[in-house]
Amino acid sequence: MASLSFNQFKIKNPVGEFSRTLPQKGLAQSTRVGFRVFASETPAEPDLSVTVNGLHMPNPFVIGSGPPGTNYTVMKRAFDEGWGAVIAKTVSLDAAKVINVTPRYARLRAGINGSAKGQIIGWENIELISDRPLETMLKEFKKLKEEYPDRILIASIMEEYNKAAWDELIDRCEQTGVDAFEINFSCPHGMPERKMGAAVGQDCALLEEVCGWINAKATIPVWAKMTPNITDITQPARVALSLGCEGIAAINTIMSVMGINLNSLRPEPCVEGYSTPGGYSSKAVHPIALAKVMNIAKMMQSEFNGKDYSLSGIGGVETGSDAAEFILLGANTVQVCTGVMMHGYGLVKKLCAELKDFMKVHNFSSIEDFRGASLQYFTTHTDLVRRQQEAIQQRKAIRKGLKSDKDWTGDGFVKETESMVSN
């Protein structure tokens, strides 16, 4: 699949100054004939719109795949509230195999875990992909695209290790008019048992084969969603891009055990007295996600520079500042899932306002003005040591002042004297 320029679609189905002269009002004002009033120009608002793989979004904020994109009603709400794009909850051909349990979430609070007063900083889920019939989801995709033709709807898809199944799922989804695919190579629980999700994303040989199938069939942009549960996340990201994916999304949730109830001695979330490791998200994963996104962005910069690949940052986004950090590390878009579950769909208005405030402080007029601007400040520890040693030597040289009597000058005599005073 050929890579795209940002100004074209891969798909066939889309998607002053003023003055005035005051009149004379008698002799007393005869000297004010030339008086002029100038209106100060109001600075233009920062532009949050982005174009990613040919897809235009009013802002970089994307509903991440999960409960916030589970049906027509909630996805419509997301568009109405102003989200830049929506990624639906992951679908597969046979929803009958997907059986969820309740409760399926557990929270981690700041301070003593279990306290109802502490701020929520971590969230675990053992939820699976969509348990709704594929045909139902497809009808709702089609309805959404008919009602919101200019908004971006992305289908998250996952299948077993079967080329025919992938081909069928891709074809049926494309017929609804969705704008792009996000491939779930990263769900950490439940699905890997069926050679799906993270089972593919953690195996580069398997990933290479499946990406080949997908990109040979898909006619719309494809993002590969990466698992953080791997030693080097750049390896599968590199494979996905090399095999034709237009973008990378990172990170999915981190495999975790939320905690143990010290009264019952049972793990959380507790289902009939038992539990299973699940995916960890929310504020606590943000620093980990930043590191993973930074590594992917630097890899893309060095190995795929000049090509129109995209990066979508995910992990603990609840404020405009959180989003700005991802963009400064190279992300084109920023996904939010758990944040919506905690704060509601109206969160996007706060995110947009806070991101604009950040941009105004730095005089940035567009997202591209600062995207990737902080990548240049990451280096190796060895280089940090070298840089600090050089800086120390420079500071010592300045403090030493003149090295010889021949270095004295007439113009800088006072400053030269001060450079050799110790107190």
Instruction: Locate 7 and state its tokens.
Output: 């100004």
CA distance 221 to 180: 5
Angle formed by the axes of helices 234-242 and 204-217, to 10°? 30
Instruction: Locate 406 and state its tokens.
Output: 């021949």
211 included as an active-site residue = no
Count other C-beta atoms under 10 Å from residue 339's C-beta.
26
Instruction: Locate 77 and state its tokens.
Output: 């709400």
For the chain, the three-class secondary structure string (H helix, E strand, C coil) is: CCCCCCCCCCCCCCCCCCCCECCCCCHHHHHHCCCECCCCCCCCCCECCEEECCEEECCCEEECCCHHHCCHHHHHHHHHHCCCEEECCCECCCHHHCCCCCCCEEEEECCCCCCCCCCEEEEEECCCCCCCCHHHHHHHHHHHHHHCCCCEEEEEECCCCCHHHHHHHHHHHHCCCCCEEEEECCCCCCHHHHCCCHHHHCCHHHHHHHHHHHHHHCCCCEEEECCCCCCCCHHHHHHHHHCCCCEEEECCCEEECCEECCCCCCEECCECCECCCEEEECHHHHHHHHHHHHHHHHHHHHHCCCCCCEEEEECCCCCHHHHHHHHHCCCCEEEECHHHHHHCCCHHHHHHHHHHHHHHHCCCCEHHHCCCCCHHHCCCHHHHHHHHHHHHHHHHHHHHCCCCHHHCCCCCHHHHHHCCCCC
Among 187, 211, 245, 337, the one annotated catalytic:
187
Count other C-beta atoms under 10 Å from residue 21's C-beta.
11
Q: Which residues are catalytic?
A: 187
